[in-house]
Amino acid sequence: MSTSCTSPDRNQIRHWLTTTNPHDLDELWRQADAVRRQHVGDAVHLRGLVEVSNRCTRNCLYCGIRLANSKVPRYLMTTEEILDCTRIAVEAGFGTLVLQAGEDESVAASWIAEVISAIKRDTDLAITLSLGERDEADYRLWREAGADRYLLRFETGDDKLFDTIHPSLPGRRSDRLALLGLLRETGYEVGSGILVGIPGQSFDSLVADIERFGSLDLDMIGVGPYIPHPDTPLAQHSERFLLADGEQVPNTVEMGYRVLALARLICPRANIPSTTALATLDGPAGRELGLQRGANIVMPNLTPQKYRRMYEIYPAKAASTEAAEQSIAGALSQIRALGRTIGSGRGDSPNLLKDC
Ligand code: SAH
């Protein structure tokens, strides 16, 4: 199990989340980088991200593509457009395509299955899905069509906070932890993660979330700072949610790095991306620092430019207007400049080998 390696205990996690001593923080970055190198090596795997649709029936209080945000024009990519992205991913030597979307039944399960089959027919790409909470039958259908991995962040393990910021749909209680178990049973490689610094998120709950990464034995972990979107209730009324100073986790980029580094210590063999949220807050240095503080994955955005601005889960998503070719070239030169190599093959999670 990944948890048996170098896991810091609860008190160490809390210390590293709250310390103001720069030497202690340097030690955290150093350990995360060393554990990353020892367990997943210097290769950085590239995943091509395709934001298939911004249609969404949910009203998450943090997310810019929530149903109630009528300012966002809605789109659904065509099969041909997705296959064009697939070709770009293959030409660039990527091992994985990530299909992400809002949660909407009009993004039909049968159509997604056809897209998966078409990609699998033409390429050796691994396919990761990030399509939110769907019926068990959909998850099974997509797995049978050839999808390999599923990303579903539990966002926060504080049930009360989660229910507030991620309201359940009528008659269907959101239970992302249960869904992660179901996804695992269905045969997916499973990824999850959290938002860092959600108004209302306490250090106690953040410590518990980081410990949970280990008990869930995640193959992939995505974490990033919460970035307020002006057209959402959480941004408009943050004062209603914020905890007292000292209790409230700040949504700073630095707190994002701390959680990323701790995720690496807790799950040494997981695939962990240097997320776009870090690059959005910290510019190009954000991706680099993520890679130096535990991450081993980069996800260049391959979504056609005409749709980029519409997939605005938070404002100024990094490089939101950059063409796919530019975003790939930028990622490659950054990785090489760090002395890291570009991963070849699918980049399956070493965590599945379970022998650390
Ligand atoms: N519909 C899918 C994909 C959502 S987008 C799902 O619900 O799983 C992927 C991730 O973006 C979310 O899991 C969330 O953690 C993150 N996200 C959403 N709004 C955000 C915000 N305002 N700031 C930072 N990250 C955000």
Q: Which amino acid is at 114?
A: E
Structure confidence at residue 1 (pLDDT):
37
Query: How far is it, in rounded angstroms, from Cα 144 to Cα 123?
Result: 17
Residue 69's CB is within 10 A of a number of other CB atoms, namely: 16
Query: How far is it, in rounded angstroms, from Cα 268 to Cα 263?
Result: 8
Dihedral (Cα; 161, 165, 171, 174), 10-degree rounding: -60
Q: Which amino acid is at 87?
A: R
Residue with tokens 């103001």, as numbered in its chain: 20
Q: Determine phi and psi for 191, rounding to 5 degrees.
A: -125, 150
Structure confidence at residue 93 (pLDDT):
93
Whole-number mean pLDDT of the chain? Answer: 94
- The tens digit of pLDDT for each residue in 137-150 reads 999 999 999 999 99
pTM: 0.96
104: in domain: yes
pLDDT greater than 80 at residue 319: no
Structure confidence at residue 88 (pLDDT):
96
Q: Buried (b) or exposed (e) across 99-112, using 16+ Cβ within 10 A?
A: bbbbbbeebebeeb
Structure confidence at residue 5 (pLDDT):
44
5: in domain: no
- Kindly report the length of the chain: 356
Contact, 44 vs 291, CB < 8 A? yes
Query: How far is it, in rounded angstroms, from Cα 266 to Cα 207?
Result: 11
Query: How far is it, in rounded angstroms, from Cα 280 to Cα 17?
Result: 21
Structure confidence at residue 276 (pLDDT):
87
Residue 248: strand pairing partners: 202
Q: How far is the CA of 223 from the centre of ligand 1 (A)?
A: 10
Tokens at 178, concatenated: 């249960």
User: Domain range spanning residue 257?
Assistant: 10-345
What three-state secondary structure class fits 192? Answer: strand
Residue 141 CB-density burial (10 A; 0-12 exposed, 13-18 middle, 19+ buried): middle
Q: Which of 51, 57, 63, 311 should be mutated for ligand 1, with most atoms under 8 A from CB? A: 63
Share of the chain above pLDDT 70, in %: 96
- The tens digit of pLDDT for each residue in 161-219 reads 999 999 999 888 999 999 999 999 999 999 999 999 999 999 999 999 999 999 999 99
356: in domain: no
229: in domain: yes
Instruction: Give the total number of structural domains in the chain.
Output: 1
Ligand 1 atom 12, closest CA: 153
Q: Name the band, by pLDDT with cuts 50, 70 and 90, for residue 3.
A: very low
Query: How far is it, in rounded angstroms, from Cα 7 to Cα 213?
Result: 11
Q: How far is the CA of 220 from the centre of ligand 1 (A)?
A: 15
Query: How far is it, in rounded angstroms, from Cα 111 to Cα 173?
Result: 25
Q: How far is the CA of 339 from the centre of ligand 1 (A)?
A: 31
DSSP string, 4-69: GTT---HHHHHHHHH---HHHHHHHHHHHHHHHHHHH-SEEEEEEEEEEE-------TT-TT-TT-
1: in domain: no
Structure confidence at residue 337 (pLDDT):
94
Is 176's C-beta closer than 6 angstroms to any atom of ligand 1? no
Q: Which of 50, 74, 130, 282 should be mutated for ligand 1, with most atoms under 8 A from CB? A: 130
In this prediction, residues 239-265 reach a mean pLDDT of: 97
70: in domain: yes
**Closest ligand 1 atom to Cα of 314:** 22
- The tens digit of pLDDT for each residue in 22-61 reads 999 999 999 999 999 999 999 999 999 999 999 999 999 9
Share of the chain above pLDDT 90, in %: 86
Q: How far is the CA of 296 from the centre of ligand 1 (A)?
A: 20
Structure confidence at residue 4 (pLDDT):
40
pLDDT greater than 90 at residue 353: no
Q: What is the CATH number of the domain that holds 203?
A: 3.20.20.70
Ligand 1 atom 6, closest CA: 132
Q: Which of 153, 155, 194, 198 should be mutated for ligand 1, with most atoms under 8 A from CB? A: 153
Ligand 1 atom 19, closest CA: 63
Q: How far is CA 219 from the centre of its chain?
A: 12
Structure confidence at residue 239 (pLDDT):
95
Q: Is 242 left (phi over 0), alpha (psi -120 to 50) or beta?
A: beta
Residue with tokens 């395709």, as numbered in its chain: 50
Query: How far is it, in rounded angstroms, from Cα 118 to Cα 116?
Result: 5
Is 103's C-beta closer than 6 angstroms to any atom of ligand 1? yes
Q: Which amino acid is at 22?
A: P
Contact, 232 vs 63, CB < 8 A? yes
Q: Which amino acid is at 177?
A: L
Q: Which residue has the higher pLDDT, 353 or 187?
A: 187
355: in domain: no
pLDDT greater than 50 at residue 356: no
Query: How far is it, in rounded angstroms, from Cα 35 to Cα 354?
Result: 16
Query: How far is it, in rounded angstroms, from Cα 151 to Cα 27?
Result: 30
Q: How far is the CA of 273 from the centre of ligand 1 (A)?
A: 14
- Smallest Cα–Cα separation from 258: which of 28, 62, 37? 28
Structure confidence at residue 310 (pLDDT):
94
Structure confidence at residue 330 (pLDDT):
87
Q: How far is the CA of 313 from the centre of ligand 1 (A)?
A: 6
- Smallest Cα–Cα separation from 346: which of 118, 98, 121, 153? 98
67: in domain: yes
Is 311's C-beta closer than 6 angstroms to any atom of ligand 1? no
Is 152's C-beta closer than 6 angstroms to any atom of ligand 1? yes
Tokens at 61, concatenated: 């209080």
